[in-house]
Structure formats: C-alpha cells, structure tokens
Structure 1
Amino acid sequence: MTAPRLRLDPPTPADADALLAFELANRAYFESHINARPAAYYEPGGVQAAIAQAQREAAADLGFQYLVRDATGALVGRVNLSRVRRAHFHAADLGYRVG
C-alpha cells in the first residue's frame, strides 16, 4: 500500500506562518483570477484572525476550510466549503486555491 499523495487538514493557529507564506507566494496569480483578499489579511495577525474565523464557522457548521498538503507535509493548496446548507438537502459552495 502506498502513502497518500495529498492530505486535507483543517487549519490551526500553528499553520499561520506556512499559510501566510503560501498566500504571499501565490498572491499575484490568485488575484489575477479571483477577488483579492482584504489588505488586512496580509498584515500581522490577519491570517491568525482568518484561522480563528474558520474554526468558528466549522464549529457552527457554516463552513469548512482545509489545507492541502503533499506527501512531505508542504502546503500546496486550500479547499473551502462555504454556505453550508443542511435543511432539506446537503449542499455547499466549493472553492479552492492550488499553488
């Protein structure tokens, strides 16, 4: 059996530095294709605040964010489920960023 090539992990405060580095390294590309993040995201504490918000949304069953890591543990992408809807059916909007 081979080791998984990719894994999904919910973000934690310990991921803040790696997540900021990933976002900064890919910022120009991402912003050429999707709406830019607010400038405050890239300021000190911005990523930490975003992670805390993601944790609150997950606890409230409103949205779920995951960091995509390769076999070495390097952060290579993100996957987000937003606008989670449970009434009458299960649905969510899927978003992703791949470096």
Structure 2
Amino acid sequence: MNISIKLLSIEDARSLYDFELENRAYFETFVPGRGEDYYIYENFLASLKDLLKEQEEGVSYFHLIINEANQIVGRMNLVDVDKEKRQGSIGYRVGKSYLGKGVASVALQLLLQEAIMEYSVNEFLASTTSNNVASQRVLEKNNFVLQSVDKKKIVWEDGVKYDFLNYIRKS
C-alpha cells in the first residue's frame, strides 16, 4: 500500500470525524474510550481546533496517514515536543481495515524523518499496552527500544488490566 502523511488542517474535520467514528470500537480495544461527548460533531470540532492551536504553537504535530485514493487510513502524531531537549512523544492509530499492511511502520518512518528534518526532534518516546503486540512490533521495527514497564495498570471496561510499555528512540 502506497501511503503518505500530511499535517492535519481544519479542512480535514469531516473526514477525520468519519474515520474516528468508523473505527471507534476497534480503537477502544487498545486505548481508553474518549467518551460519548467526543463523538458529537460540534464537540469533536472544538477538540480539533484545540489540537490545531497546539500545532500552531509547535507543541504538537498531528498528521493523517493517507492512501493513494486520498482516504484517511490512520493518524500519526508527535506530541509534547520539548524544543530544548529536542524530544517528543509518538502516538498513532491505524483503521481496522488497514491492519497488517505495513501502514503504521511506513507512516512512523515518514514521521520520524519529518520530525528530525522539520521539527528538530531527535529523541522520541512512545508507549503502548502489553496486549498491543502489533504496536510493539511497529516501534521495534523503527528502532525503538523498550525503556521501562509501568506497573501502574490501566483498567479497561472489561476489567482486564494491562501494563504500559514505554519505548525510546534516539536518532
């Protein structure tokens, strides 16, 4: 699959909202839900505007993963950028129907290149849960190293508890 990443803009609001709605149940199997209010379009739009303000301030950079048909297939974000430390945290999600196609690995490569060249970031942090083996593989393929295991467990709605795995990559 041929993909690219593009910086999020307000023009992407409706497409991103539809993508998030379509993949909500799948995403919530790995990360805590955002709550019902988030999925009311006006609330989603207000949240998006807050993200775009962060982006404008250089605190975070939000990217969409786009396929050759110009459809959103995922998100790839660099957040909590510390310009002094040249450090930021990576977060991503890929739509359920695009899993197993290397989308996250390629998109992460693209984001790392952009972060180094455009945002002057050379140290990257990422976290995933112990049950998200696919995410762990994506990080490891992109030279992230397991730094620590956070034993403060997260409780999901089904009552199952998972550890957070914290990764780091220095360029």
TM-score of the superposed pair, with normalisation by structure 1: 0.86
Gaps of 5+ in 2: 96-171
Q: Which amino acid aligns with 1:95?
A: G
- Rounded to whole Å, the distance in 2 between the matches of 1:30 and 1:84 is 24
RMSD of aligned residue pairs (Cα, Å): 1.5
List structure 1 runs of 4+ shifted beyond 4 angstroms: none
Matches within 5 A, 1:19-34: 19-34=16-31
Matches within 5 A, 1:6-85: 6-85=3-82
Q: Is the 8 A contact 2:17 2:41 kept in 1?
A: no
Q: Which of these two proteins has the greater Rg computed from alpha carbons?
A: 2
Decide which of 89, 92, 97 is 2:88's aligned counterpart: 92
- Rounded to whole Å, the distance in 1 between the matches of 2:11 and 2:57 is 21
Q: Is the 8 A contact 1:69 1:76 kept in 2?
A: yes
- Rounded to whole Å, the distance in 1 between the matches of 2:80 and 2:30 is 21
Gaps of 5+ in 1: none
> How many equivalent residue pairs?
95
TM-score of the superposed pair, with normalisation by structure 2: 0.52
Shift of residue 73 of structure 1? 0.1
Larger strand share, 1 or 2:
2
- Rounded to whole Å, the distance in 2 between the matches of 1:49 and 1:79 is 20
Higher relative contact order (CA 8 A, sep 6+): 1
Identity %: 31
